[in-house]
Structure 1
Amino acid sequence: MRSVYLDNAASTKIRKEVLDYLVECLEKYYANPSSVHSMGRESRVMLEKARATVASLLNVKTQDILFTSGATESNNLAIRGLLSKTDKKEIITSNIEHSSILKLMNRLSDEGYIVHYVKTLPNGQVDVEDLKKYLNTNTALVSVMAVNNETGVRQPIDKISKLLANTGIYFHVDGAQLLGKMEVDPYLLGIDSMTGSAHKFYGPKGVGVLYLRDDIPVEKLIYGGPQERNKRAGTENLDAILASAYALELAYKNMKDERAYIKELNRYLLSKLSDKCIVNGENRIDDILSIQVKGKNIQTLLPMLDMKGIMVSGGSACMSGSLSASPVLIAMGLSEEEANSSIRVSLGLHNTKEEIDYFIDCLEKM
């Protein structure tokens, strides 16, 4: 049976060059970076080179970059850390954030924080005017994602940043669907912390990239050794970190050509969709499309596509096991029926127009 993977927002296939480099690192740099002997020191040098590579690509200081197990841990570490350094008790976020943000907000609410959820516009962007209403002298932090993981809609990070300038309010950005796809300058945008995940940009799983301003002394979540500037204890996943830095380097090096390729795949897919399909959201990145399929529901559509060898999702991979209507689409104003008929198609560098033709043909016959 043919296999067509259109779930790249959940995870990408590791680049061949990155896989080869990962294997090389596993064979060569197996010593603990904290060890004081020569091989340990060599591992430490490689770790710091990887950190410097990521910092250079983001145009930030080397000491601003931390490596974690993924974007989920990074989101928790950044937000918990930032909140530990202020007595303010109000937080502003949105209903369309990743579950690692929303579940954390639920917990923080239980702990006494007041969490405000900004409205989402029908185009899929958070309502900046609504956000303004919640800003006050007790606001500790604003957390808004850069790109929505279900719709691909780019959020107005620049506008929010301007609102927060010189207010003393921390600004956290979940950049998991941004990093490696678009150039970003956290300093220029006034972002205090931003997360990314290597398996979203053709690197290995298990590595999170966290930009966290070094001048903000945060409280760590994991206690133990002094790794990661004493902000994240535990022996570093060195081989995967080295491969992840290389994956990000390649993403930046090839960004112009690869973004053009994804853009063309997006254009081709849109041109092939029939009238029974509606794309949710506006101002999207080219990689992710949330598509309503009239007369269908994800409970039957996803298994049917899977039987044809087509891998898509009903929304976030972290939440799609329930096969229920997407809260993100509901927040955008879609009805339960419309949300329940929407699938997420996410394109990647390994996809082809022939695969899109096969997907469209199967979709039309269902």
Structure 2
Amino acid sequence: MIASALEKRIKKHIHAQPQELRIIPAPGWKDICEDEVRFILKTFTQPGKFEAEVQDDPEGVGLKQLDFRQLLEIPQRLLTAQACLWTILDRHVGSFGELTQAIEGLDFELYLPEKCPVQLKVQSFQSHLYHEGKLYELITQAFAKLGHKVQDEAPWHILAEQRGNRLKLFLALGPYPLHHRRYKPEARHGAPLQECLGASALRWMMSLQTDWQPDQIVVPFAGSGTLLFESWLLLGQIPSFSWNPKAYLENLPATPNATLESIRKRLRERQSTNLPPALLIEKDKDIAESLPAHIENFKKPLGITSNASSLCADIFESAPPPGTKILAPLNPPYGLRLSQEGKSRPADFYRKLGAFLKKWPTKDQDLRGFVLIPDEDSLQVMRQELGSGSVQAVQSFSQGGQHIRCLAFKV
């Protein structure tokens, strides 16, 4: 039970006050992340006291004037973000002493469980006085005085940002990173695509369509199934909290658990349980054998009836699945994955892939999707093979420091 004095402070300083968030988008997908955020702002499960709005933020998508109930809802719905950061301190600091006073003066009982360990990340911009090493040292000492030890692998994540003479502290609303959905067993594919990158590419590709919804999904180069699961999340408006076994928002001192459960109940009521059937095609036998378990793990907490089957086969020797409107998100092998298959030039592989996609669907099928491409030569041969009428748009993003092109197509 929360002590009555603390409960009064929470109601006064948290529940009765507007809150701010910083949302960190997947690299290269800020516009798409902002589009998702604006959709959430229009579709909250319950009204707030304030009128939430997007604000400028140099590091991501900023939100202000949020009701605390809305602040709880956002990280449970976001698919295209890496992190959701709650602003818990925003103060001018002109010296090391003022920085320490600002942190020690923050009422941490409003934000964190008593004496819990935290992970600390520090960023410093446009500041001649503060460098990140010194900031880390000072903030660690201040946290220790308040009973919060800074250590690796702690469940709570704090970002400290010094920009000029302005100090901000952010508390990550977990899980952190936010894109760790936990809908697959721990065994992972050798070259996984971050879930938020897949979600962003799918949201972008679907935004290019007009009144088009798939009645079938096919995922060549299926890997561990990420692109199918992200497709279902998007199409079914499925909240991302469904598989997270670790309570997080429940442990915030300010969280009213009845409100949290009400939000989750309403989000579950909105989600669709009738999603397009899917076919996952993967040529690696060991990876293909793990796909049925991944599918069952995804479906288990949702009660969905949609069918998904997996096939161990080479996509170039496979027939298209049944369906009139087919969604095909493709994350082909490139880089090390491609060289392991004995191919030296990605462009040769992508030329073959482009020609195959152009001819793959039957005459009564409408095949749309995207393909991830690692270099400019491969992009150009894909354009040539697909033809200008089949290329809808190209978007660039970063995956593990590598520049990737995402080409949306319809054939």
- Larger fraction in strand: 2
Q: Fold conserved (TM > 0.5)?
A: no
Larger Rg: 2
Structure (1 or 2) with the greater helix fraction: 1
How high is the TM-score relative to the length of structure 1?
0.29
Taking structure 2 as the reference length, the TM-score comes to 0.27
